[in-house]
Chain A
Amino acid sequence: MSLLEVEGLRIRLPTPTGLVTVVDGVDYEVEPGQVFGVAGESGSGKTMSVLALLGLLPPGARVEGRAIFGGRDLLRLRGRELRRVAGRDIGMVFQDPMTSLHPMLSIGKQLTEHLRRRLGLDRHAASHRATDLLEQVRIPDPEGALHAFPHQFSGGMRQRIAIAIALACGPKLLIADEPTTALDVTVQAGIIRLLDRLRREADLSVILITHDLGVMSSIADRVTILYASRVVESGDREALLRRPRHPYTRALLDALPHPEAAGERPLVAIRGAPPSPRRLPSGCAFHPRCAYALESCALAVPPLLHVNGRAFACPPDPFAAR
């Protein structure tokens, strides 16, 4: 039984010129204990698709579809109901550790507030659990840290604290939106390892949103690639990254510096830029930039084909000689 099943998610945002679709028919399933990666460039809709789960979309957003979590449809819940379900069983970590913690409250306060409100722990028990959490995320001197303030910590440490707060109530699902983008590479490695360890120790499911396929490749079990509000490919991490089926995935990988092939293979840039959701190209949104595009690509949005546990939105075998 999946932990989270998202079906037909469609999100439209109000803009001065009308409603614009930012997420268009996205489906995915997250299993317990799985790291589910959502990849895409800025503007692909990856962040919006999870903000919808937590009711964090901007006001006026129209949402269609279902998101079944623990037997309830998150998209139909409101206010207190949503906070109860989401606040307890889903934790979220945001991108910028500099702004995601309250600058005026001590770490201890920020942690224990959650614990006491959600789990009803008394002060002593909450403190104790807070210390445990900080230890779990490997903050040195957890007891001292309880009394410290965010500005006294580095970016990497703050991100760990944010993860601790997200995990405070023992959620089943952790959503991490670009958790390492703002961090140095060695610090990023630490957070990646932390997430990996937490996932295994706590049997935690993680939805990992990032544009960085390297980070994705390190811990994700399944990967979904979004382009301009639609899913273009999804599947097991290894299969998808080793043998991408969709030209966009392939192009993304080619544009990345690959540690093995440095110097031998130049970076292949994808010409053009991602389209604005306001003005999507007809048919397949990627076709103007696609090296393998056919005339038919501009005619209709390609359906998502499901083959062997993988899905991609492109006619079979796009890389065959054209």
Chain B
Amino acid sequence: MSAVAARLGVRRRSRRLRPAWRQPLAVVGAVIAIAWIVIAIFAPLIAPHDPLAQTFAPQQSPSLKHLFGTDELGRDVLSRVLYGSRVSVPIALLLVGLAACVGGLVGALAGYFRGVVDGLFMRAADLVFAFPPIVLAMVVAAVLGRGLQNAALAIVVVAWPSYARVVRGLVLSVADAEYVQSARLLGSSARRALFRDVLPNVVGPVLVLATLDLANATLLLSGLSFLGLGAQPPRAEWGSMVADGAQYFQWWWIGTFPGLAIFTAVLAFNFLGDSLRDAFDPQTAWGGEAQE
């Protein structure tokens, strides 16, 4: 492709980061994600009823009194969905954060020191990659025992290798980059170069991966709970609620609304992740200039 076409495709002289209103998907994603975070924080204040109170008439379809209806035990579904966010959202965030840190550290060490260290760490990662995530998570959760904490641990075990691999690849490529060599020539120690030059180039992709991973973590957690390995009854958690709803299909509201909650949260995280990726690449964000 000629220089001209390449230049025209991406060149924009010093444009600011494209204003948010130009990126509808990102806005939608951000709004939804923030909404769920807010809900998670303020659920006790927002929810009309106690999620565990089985005081209402069971299996009532959605009405003004119970916007999402009541479930088979007479609990208000709306309140349960709102409280469910207190499980899914913070845990997803925590898990992804943990996995990113662990995986990132492993990857950075592997990429920096190479040799035996690299081999060892990467084989461990490969071991995890060999299994479908949900299967492995199930196994780990089953081994550790039922419960939310164990499900969480299982997810971290499943999630860290992606970060390790990404970070390792980045460290490997960036460490040899000429701008790092330039910095070293100027007298920068290897450590300073690592923090000033290597890591900033690593943070971006990791953040994108993490945001997209939030979606995966949410799904995994819900999946494990759906299978009975995660949140235990009577805890209000989206996945187990969907499981319940699957049993009581005729009362569609029991499973549908938690399902929608999962759906919107995951979608929101995906949108966010995509636009974060664009934002982090200074070339796409500010208008890149391709090579001549």
From DSSP, what is the main secondary structure of chain B's interface residues?
Answer: helix
Say yes or no: B8 contacts A20, CB within 8 Å: yes
Say yes or no: B9 contacts A15, CB within 8 Å: yes
Which residues from chain B contact A47 at a C-beta distance below 8 Å? 2-4
Bound: A16/B8 CA distance, A: 9
- Known contacts A43-B3, A47-B2, A58-B1; is A13 also within 8 Å of B8 by CB? yes
Which residues from chain A contact B13 at a C-beta distance below 8 Å? 276
Say yes or no: B9 contacts A42, CB within 8 Å: no
Known interface pairs A13-B5, A44-B4, A45-B4; 20 further A-B residue pairs with C-beta atoms within 8 A, sorted by A's residue number: A13-B4, A15-B8, A16-B9, A20-B8, A22-B8, A42-B292, A43-B3, A43-B4, A43-B7, A43-B292, A47-B2, A47-B4, A48-B2, A48-B4, A48-B5, A276-B7, A276-B8, A276-B11, A278-B8, A278-B11
Nearest B-chain residue to A58, judged by Cβ? B5
Chain A positions 27-61 with a Cβ under 8 Å from a chain B Cβ: 42-45, 47-48, 51, 58
Taken residue by residue from 3 to 25, chain B's Cβ proximity to chain A (1 for < 8 Å, 0 otherwise) reads as 11101110101000000000000
Chain B positions 254-292 with a Cβ under 8 Å from a chain A Cβ: 292
Say yes or no: A277 contacts B3, CB within 8 Å: no
Q: Count of A-B contacts with CB under 8 A?
A: 36
Bound: A58/B2 CA distance, A: 10
Bound: A47/B9 CA distance, A: 16
Bound: A42/B5 CA distance, A: 11
Say yes or no: B4 contacts A277, CB within 8 Å: yes
- 12 sampled A-B residue pairs with Cβ under 8 A: A13-B5, A13-B8, A15-B9, A16-B9, A20-B8, A22-B5, A47-B4, A48-B2, A48-B5, A58-B1, A58-B5, A276-B7
Bound: A200/B2 CA distance, A: 30
Nearest B-chain residue to A20, judged by Cβ? B8
Give min CB distance, A122 to chain B, whole Å: 37
Which residues from chain A contact B7 at a C-beta distance below 8 Å? 43, 276
Give min CB distance, B284 to chain A, whole Å: 11
Which residues from chain B contact A20 at a C-beta distance below 8 Å? 8
Bound: A44/B9 CA distance, A: 16
Nearest A-chain residue to B13, judged by Cβ? A276
Give min CB distance, B10 to chain A, whole Å: 9
Bound: A96/B4 CA distance, A: 17
Give min CB distance, B202 to chain A, whole Å: 29
Bound: A276/B8 CA distance, A: 8
Give min CB distance, B287 to chain A, whole Å: 10
Chain A positions 264-298 with a Cβ under 8 Å from a chain B Cβ: 276-278
Bound: A43/B8 CA distance, A: 10
Chain A positions 2-19 with a Cβ under 8 Å from a chain B Cβ: 13, 15-16
Which residues from chain A contact B3 at a C-beta distance below 8 Å? 42-43, 47
Chain A positions 99-151 with a Cβ under 8 Å from a chain B Cβ: none
Taken residue by residue from 76 to 110, chain B's Cβ proximity to chain A (1 for < 8 Å, 0 otherwise) reads as 00000000000000000000000000000000000
Nearest A-chain residue to B291, judged by Cβ? A42
Give min CB distance, B7 to chain A, whole Å: 6
Give min CB distance, A288 to chain B, whole Å: 15
Which residues from chain A contact B9 at a C-beta distance below 8 Å? 15-16
Say yes or no: B4 contacts A51, CB within 8 Å: no
Taken residue by residue from 165 to 203, chain B's Cβ proximity to chain A (1 for < 8 Å, 0 otherwise) reads as 000000000000000000000000000000000000000
Say yes or no: B1 contacts A42, CB within 8 Å: no
Give min CB distance, B160 to chain A, whole Å: 38
Of the candidates A20, A43, A277, the one having the most CB atoms from chain B within 10 angstroms of its own CB is: A43
Nearest A-chain residue to B10, judged by Cβ? A16
Which residues from chain B contact A277 at a C-beta distance below 8 Å? 4, 8
Bound: A44/B3 CA distance, A: 9
Which residues from chain A contact B4 at a C-beta distance below 8 Å? 13, 22, 42-45, 47-48, 277
Which residues from chain B contact A278 at a C-beta distance below 8 Å? 8, 11
Bound: A276/B12 CA distance, A: 10
Bound: A48/B1 CA distance, A: 9
Which residues from chain B contact A22 at a C-beta distance below 8 Å? 4-5, 8
Nearest B-chain residue to A51, judged by Cβ? B2
Bound: A22/B3 CA distance, A: 11
Which residues from chain B contact A16 at a C-beta distance below 8 Å? 9
Which residues from chain B contact A13 at a C-beta distance below 8 Å? 4-5, 8
Bound: A278/B4 CA distance, A: 10
Of the candidates B1, B4, B9, the one having the most CB atoms from chain A within 10 angstroms of its own CB is: B4
Bound: A13/B9 CA distance, A: 9
Nearest B-chain residue to A228, judged by Cβ? B4
Which residues from chain B contact A44 at a C-beta distance below 8 Å? 4
Question: 4 shortest A-B CB distances, which residue pairs?
Answer: A42-B3, A47-B2, A42-B292, A15-B8
Bound: A48/B7 CA distance, A: 13
Nearest A-chain residue to B12, judged by Cβ? A17
Nearest B-chain residue to A45, judged by Cβ? B4
Give min CB distance, A19 to chain B, whole Å: 10
Bound: A128/B88 CA distance, A: 72
Give min CB distance, B208 to chain A, whole Å: 22
Bound: A45/B3 CA distance, A: 9
Chain A positions 72-115 with a Cβ under 8 Å from a chain B Cβ: none
Bound: A276/B11 CA distance, A: 9
Nearest B-chain residue to A17, judged by Cβ? B12
Bound: A277/B4 CA distance, A: 8
Give min CB distance, B15 to chain A, whole Å: 11
Of the candidates B5, B7, B11, the one having the most CB atoms from chain A within 10 angstroms of its own CB is: B5
Give min CB distance, B159 to chain A, whole Å: 36
